[in-house]
């Protein structure tokens, strides 16, 4: 499979993610995108380095195995099926996502790439995915969908990291794995506490503190 195909698939997943209202479908899409993240470096032919092969395998195991497990456990407890009444509607989200993707292409155009970089789509895809994650984080109410947003944001950074992973493996790999693993883990714990305190994980309830 060519890396460009996988990158295009990642960007399509972005659009589907912002348009879906069902929480478990959003989780499935995030898992699918996570597995794509693991496949892209292999398709780019980076699998010849043992450490990148390991990174890809760990990414697939975490994003395709461990995180869905955490999500399924949380879903069983909180019994939420649908994102009700998001701050930004699905049609508007879709248009914003399209605008963000367009903007990413423009931005990436202004950033010169080192000669010989093969998948030139990597930078715009990274920025677009980052933007999608951000959009999900600010426009959704349930804590679970917000964590999905955080995962997608992380995927954006991961995609950019692939540009550097051959030259600066330590920086990229520790950064990405630490951020992902610990971030999601701690958020999972807090979601549990939100559930205990409010009997719901709608973060709309988390609005008692304001001026």
Partner 1 sequence: MAVLLILIPLLAAALAVFIKVPAIRVRVLPVTALLHLGLLLVVLRGWRDLPQGAWLGLDALGGWVLLVISVLFTICALYAPSYLALRPDRDHRVFTVCLLAFLGLASLLCLARHPGVAWVALETMTLTTAPLIYFNHNRHSVEATWKYLVLGSVGIALALLGTLFVAYAAHMGSLEEPLHYTRLMAEGERLSRPWLRAGFVLTLVGYGTKMGLAPLHSWKPDAYGETPGIVGALLAGGVTSCAFLALLRIYGVVSAAGEGAFARELFLGFGILSMAWALVFMVGQVDFKRLLAYSSVEHMGILVFGIGIGGLAARFALFHLAANALVKSVLFLSAGNIHRSYASKQLPQVTGAIRRTPVSAGLFFLGFLAITGLPPFAPFISEFNIASAALTLGHPILGTLFLLLLGGIFLTMSDTVMQVVFGVPSPQRVRTPYKDTFATTAPLVVAMVLALGLGLHLPAPLRAMLEAASLTIEGGPPARSGMVAEAPRDPAPTEVRP
Angle of helix 143-164 relative to helix 3-19, nearest 10 degrees, comes to 160
The residues pairing with 40 across neighbouring beta strands, listed in sequence order, are none
CA distance 10 to 62: 17
CB of 205 to partner 1, least distance (A): 8
Nearer to partner 1, 36 or 180 (CB): 180
CB of 30 to partner 1, least distance (A): 15
| Cβ partners under 8 Å of residue 61, min gap 6 | none
Distances (CA, A) of 49 to 10, 46, 64, 116, 126: 23, 6, 22, 19, 22
Nearer to partner 1, 1 or 189 (CB): 189
Asked if 180 and 148 touch (Cβ cutoff 8 Å), the reply is no
Q: In 3-state terms, what secondary structure has residue 202?
A: strand
CB of 98 to partner 1, least distance (A): 22
Nearer to partner 1, 91 or 174 (CB): 174
Dihedral of the alpha carbons of 113, 114, 120, 122, in degrees to the nearest 10: -80
Nearer to partner 1, 1 or 138 (CB): 138
CB of 187 to partner 1, least distance (A): 6
Q: Binding residues for partner 1, per CB under 8 A?
A: 110-112, 114, 130, 134, 137, 143, 146, 150, 153-154, 156-157, 160-161, 163-164, 167-168, 170-172, 174-176, 178-179, 182-183, 186-187, 190, 193-194, 197-198, 203, 206-209, 211
Nearer to partner 1, 47 or 175 (CB): 175
CB of 1 to partner 1, least distance (A): 25
């Amino acid at each position: 499979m060519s890396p460009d195909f996988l990158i295009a698939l990642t960007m399509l997943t972005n659009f589907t993610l912002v348009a879906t209202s069902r929480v478990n479908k959003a989780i499935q899409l995030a898992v699918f995108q996570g597995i794509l993240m693991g496949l892209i470096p292999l398709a780019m032919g980076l699998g010849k380095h043992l450490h990148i092969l390991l990174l890809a395998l760990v990414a697939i195991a975490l994003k395709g195995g461990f995180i869905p497990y955490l999500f399924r456990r949380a879903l069983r407890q909180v019994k939420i099926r649908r994102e009700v009444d998001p701050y930004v509607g699905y049609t508007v989200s879709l248009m914003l996502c399209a605008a963000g993707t367009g903007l990413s292409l423009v931005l990436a155009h202004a950033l010169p790439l080192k000669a010989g970089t093969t998948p030139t789509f990597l930078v715009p895809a990274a920025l677009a995915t980052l933007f999608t994650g951000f959009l999900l984080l600010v426009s959704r109410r349930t804590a679970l969908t917000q964590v999905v947003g955080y995962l997608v944001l992380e995927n954006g950074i991961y995609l950019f990291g692939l540009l550097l992973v051959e030259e600066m493996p330590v920086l990229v790999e520790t950064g990405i794995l630490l951020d992902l693993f610990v971030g999601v883990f701690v958020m999972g714990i807090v979601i549990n506490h939100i559930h205990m305190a409010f009997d719901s994980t709608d973060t709309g309830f988390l609005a008692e503190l304001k001026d």
